[in-house]
């Protein structure tokens, strides 16, 4: 079984993505996770280009790395100069990393119009830069920038640039699709043409501008590439880099290659979300393998089949990558969706008992509700069908008043009347808005019976106007997220009256929390 080297460049190439920024401390934390995962190489950044990268390499040199080698990235030396007096090359040496990754020009367009030098001088600076780093004790990986575009323009010169790096001592030459425009069959043809003349280990580095970065990387591996460069979640400049999450899963689970220590592929879900969290960005939950929606099933026919055999609508077992199967409830659901949801939440209902709930969901969704992201509301609808279930409270009525008072501004007050164990409780509360006042009044009424309510926190409140062409008469959907110290749950309400919609979502939230909170 051939071992494929995983070369991660999230900390360098990934940070060229708009909206993706990492501090030096963030880089260290992600590097430690990648080391634990077992990535062969972790590219920390470009030494000397910014203070964060300088700090990262200063910290990394004194740390113990169990599985990974830290690499510093930089360019070949300047035109008409040598590596011995090049500040960029010296910064690579000063980074104290065991590996240096150099990029150089392959495409004659770049040689002439960007470097503004001759083809011969470009070959010189490639060979001398690699050789200088090698002579100073560095392992050198050479990234052939714009390789596939360069090969199309002048295939013989593209090969010469690789041979220059090999003469200098590069242990691996990496074929880069820097502009991301190469299609899989082009890449396959070029590598097949190249291999007879390239008796040297090679890798692949692809960008996603044509939505082909992953398939191009996998194709290159099939054609003999022994190293794959990319980023976690595919972050990167423009449309991103090759997504190492998908590549590692495909290599290990589908193609029979080894790229991680045994069992580490099960950490991919956690790693994907960890990187998004550290970068303070919202995870893409539709990513293959690791998105929460990757194994989410919504259609009733699909769920019915899944209940008989999980392989019927899943290409791999989600647990292999640390994910899990989910059933989504909507107007497309069948009885199987609700039975699965009941089992998931420990609700004991018979097959026929879910039919009224299913019909209600379909009716409510036609009126603006959406239960896909409000699973706690679905659970409560099922729970109310359970034999012997008694709700913790019943609403008698509520009243909300919003007014403007001189000297005080906008003022909101709510009164709530609920029945608990036969006792009617009537309370009032002020808030900074009508929903806040309603929330506080309900809590005030119930907290003496249910002290755990003090630990419930409304963590998010979203409002969506569904039919904006109706103006102020439009249906409003309210989604509420609530959490305590151990769990988080979501509920929904919809109505032409925003207060009514908010009340339904709020009441479901409190009832669900009281059912599951301990």
CA distances from 272 to 239, 243, 348, 505 (A): 18, 10, 35, 31
Q: Which two tokens stand for residue 94?
A: 């000063």
Average pLDDT over residues 107-124: 95
Q: Where are the domains of the chain?
A: 5-261, 296-383, 402-449
Average pLDDT over residues 218-243: 97
Residues 8-26: pLDDT tens digits?
999 999 999 999 999 999 9
Q: Which pLDDT score, from 0 to 100, does residue 408 have?
A: 72
pLDDT at 346 over 70: no
Q: Which pLDDT score, from 0 to 100, does residue 38 have?
A: 97
CA distances from 86 to 78, 114, 151, 169 (A): 7, 18, 28, 19
Q: Using 50, 70 and 90 to split pLDDT, how confident is the model at 478? A: confident
Calculate the average pLDDT of the chain.
Answer: 87
| Burial annotation 367-386 (CB, 10 A radius, 16+ → b, else e) | ebbbbbebbbbbbbbbbebe
Distance CA 513, CA 518 (A): 9
> Percent of the chain, pLDDT > 90?
60
Average pLDDT over residues 401-420: 86
**DSSP code of 11?**
T
Average pLDDT over residues 428-433: 89
Q: Quick one: which of 48, 41, 47, 53 has its CA closest to 15?
A: 53
Residues 188-197: pLDDT tens digits?
999 999 999 9
Interhelix angle 213-222/184-194, nearest 10 degrees: 30
Distance CA 356, CA 310 (A): 26
Q: Which pLDDT score, from 0 to 100, does residue 332 have?
A: 47
Average pLDDT over residues 232-244: 97
pLDDT at 331 over 80: no
Q: Which two tokens stand for residue 25?
A: 């401390």
Could you tell me the pTM of the whole model? 0.73
Distance CA 174, CA 189 (A): 17
> Percent of the chain, pLDDT > 70?
85
Instruction: Lowest mean pLDDT of 57-66, 100-109, 216-225, 442-451, name the range.
Output: 442-451
Q: Which pLDDT score, from 0 to 100, does residue 325 have?
A: 75
Tell me, which fold does domain 5-261 have in CATH?
TIM Barrel (3.20.20)
Q: Using 50, 70 and 90 to split pLDDT, how confident is the model at 508? A: confident
Q: Which two tokens stand for residue 242?
A: 């090759």
CB distance 230 to 174 below 8 Å: no
pLDDT at 94 over 90: yes
CA distances from 6 to 22, 72, 171, 209, 264 (A): 21, 15, 15, 21, 13
pLDDT at 361 over 80: no
Average pLDDT over residues 93-114: 96
CB distance 157 to 117 below 8 Å: no
Residues 386-407: pLDDT tens digits?
777 788 888 899 999 988 877 7
Distance CA 13, CA 38 (A): 19
Lay out the sheet containing 409-420: strands in order across: 394-405, 409-420, 423-431
Q: Which two tokens stand for residue 257?
A: 């290659």
CB distance 213 to 242 below 8 Å: yes
Please enumerate in sequence order all residues whose Cβ is within 8 A of that of 448, keeping only pairs 6 or more positions apart, or say none: none
CB distance 91 to 61 below 8 Å: no
Residue 51 backbone phi and psi in degrees, to 5? -65, -30
DSSP for 89-102, please give it: HHHHHHTT-SEEEE
């Amino acid at each position: 079984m051939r071992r494929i080297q995983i070369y991660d460049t999230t900390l360098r190439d990934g940070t060229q993505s708009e909206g993706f920024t990492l501090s030096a401390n963030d880089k260290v934390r992600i590097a430690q996770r990648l080391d634990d995962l077992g990535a062969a190489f972790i590219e920390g950044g470009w030494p000397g280009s910014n203070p964060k990268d300088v700090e990262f390499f200063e910290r990394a040199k004194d740390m113990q790395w169990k599985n990974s080698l830290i690499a510093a990235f930089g360019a070949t030396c300047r035109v008409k100069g040598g590596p011995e007096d090049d500040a960029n090359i010296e910064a690579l040496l000063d980074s104290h990393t065991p590996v240096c990754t150099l990029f150089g020009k392959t495409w004659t367009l770049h040689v002439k119009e960007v470097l503004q030098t001759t083809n011969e001088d470009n070959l010189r600076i490639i060979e001398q830069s690699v050789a200088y780093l090698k002579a100073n004790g560095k392992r050198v990986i050479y990234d052939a920038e714009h390789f596939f575009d360069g090969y199309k323009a002048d295939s013989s010169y593209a090969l010469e640039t690789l041979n220059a790096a090999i003469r200098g001592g590069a242990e691996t030459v990496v074929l880069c699709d820097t502009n991301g425009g190469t299609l899989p069959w082009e890449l396959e043809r070029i590598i097949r043409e190249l291999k007879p003349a390239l008796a040297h280990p090679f890798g692949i580095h692809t960008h996603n501008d044509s939505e082909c970065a992953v398939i191009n990387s996998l194709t290159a591996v099939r054609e003999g590439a022994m190293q794959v460069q990319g980023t976690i979640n595919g972050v990167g400049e423009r449309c991103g880099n090759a997504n190492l999450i998908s590549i590692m899963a495909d290599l290990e689970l589908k193609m029979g290659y080894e790229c991680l220590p045994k069992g580490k592929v099960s950490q991919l879900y956690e790693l994907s979300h960890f990187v998004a969290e550290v970068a303070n960005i919202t995870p893409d939950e539709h990513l293959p393998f690791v998105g929460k929606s990757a194994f989410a099933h919504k259609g009733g026919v699909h769920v019915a089949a899944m209940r008989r055999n999980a392989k019927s609508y899943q290409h791999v077992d989600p647990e292999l990558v640390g994910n899990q199967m989910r059933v989504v409830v909507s107007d497309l659901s069948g009885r199987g969706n609700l039975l699965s949801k009941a089992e998931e939440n420990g609700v004991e209902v018979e097959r026929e008992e879910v039919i009224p709930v299913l019909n209600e969901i379909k009716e409510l969704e036609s009126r603006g509700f959406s239960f896909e992201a409000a699973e706690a509301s679905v659970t409560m609808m099922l729970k109310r069908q359970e034999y012997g279930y008694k709700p913790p409270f019943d609403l008698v009525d509520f009243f909300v008043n919003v007014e403007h008072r001189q000297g005080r501004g906008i003022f909101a007050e709510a009164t709530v009347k609920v029945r608990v164990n036969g006792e009617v409780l009537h309370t009032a509360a002020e808030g900074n808005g009508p929903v806040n006042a309603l929330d506080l009044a309900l809590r005030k009424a119930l907290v003496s019976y249910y002290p755990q309510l003090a630990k419930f926190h409304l963590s998010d409140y979203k409002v969506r106007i569904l039919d904006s062409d109706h103006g102020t008469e439009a249906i409003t959907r309210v989604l509420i997220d609530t959490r305590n110290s151990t769990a988080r749950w979501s509920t929904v309400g919809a109505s032409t009256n925003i207060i009514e919609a908010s009340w339904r979502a709020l009441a479901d939230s409190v009832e669900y929390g009281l059912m599951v909170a301990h």
